[in-house]
Amino acid sequence: MDISDFIAIGVPIVLILYAILIYNRLVSLKHNVSQAWSNIDVLLKQRHDELPKLVETCRQYMKYEGETLERVMRARTQVAQAQATGNINALGGAETGLRSGLLNLFAVAEDYPELKANEQFQHLQARITGLENAIADRREFYNESVNRNNVRIEQFPDLLIARWLGFGEKELLEFTEEETRDVNLRALFG
């Protein structure tokens, strides 16, 4: 066996092994994106379950704030619909509405000292605030995973394998301008 035979056999084997390595990395990235989305999904479901309890607790005290409570529940429904369809863009908009509604609800609760003193309200407010923070962290992780995936499938030689095997770009979880703008606390408490 001379060097040309070795090259004729060795080069294709190296290329196949390299293609397998690229494929395995792409699969790993795809599953990281799915896992990151599942983490968000779990937290959204937990928050979805807690919101009716919060609204019901508030309803007992806030007899004249039906519009605020209804806005939170409508936003909750929109988030659930976007989540169920997997529509990342719709989820971003629905999240904006829900966060705005919750901020408004918590601000209005300031006018009800009995509600603020209610142990169940305090627990639910802390629980939902904790879930909001966890969702924000998971959004960051999700977008990082999506970005890694999208960069990798555009890099050479990975893009050859990605296109050939149908690996596609994933959508970032982006938010409306309203969501990223600073909250006007004066307006909420005014």
pLDDT tens-digit readout, 68-94? 778 888 888 888 888 888 777 788 788
Contacting residues for 57 by C-beta, under 8 A, at least 6 apart: 115, 118, 120, 121, 124
How many helices (H) and strands (E) in the chain? 8, 0
Mean pLDDT, residues 46-72: 79
Q: Could you give all domains of the chain from N- to C-terminal order, each with its CATH number?
A: 3-189 (1.20.1440.20)
Write down the residue that tokens 């169940």 correspond to: 120
Distance between CA atoms of 121 and 187, rounded to whole angstroms?
23
Q: What pLDDT was estimated at residue 121?
A: 82
One-letter amino acid identity for 38? S
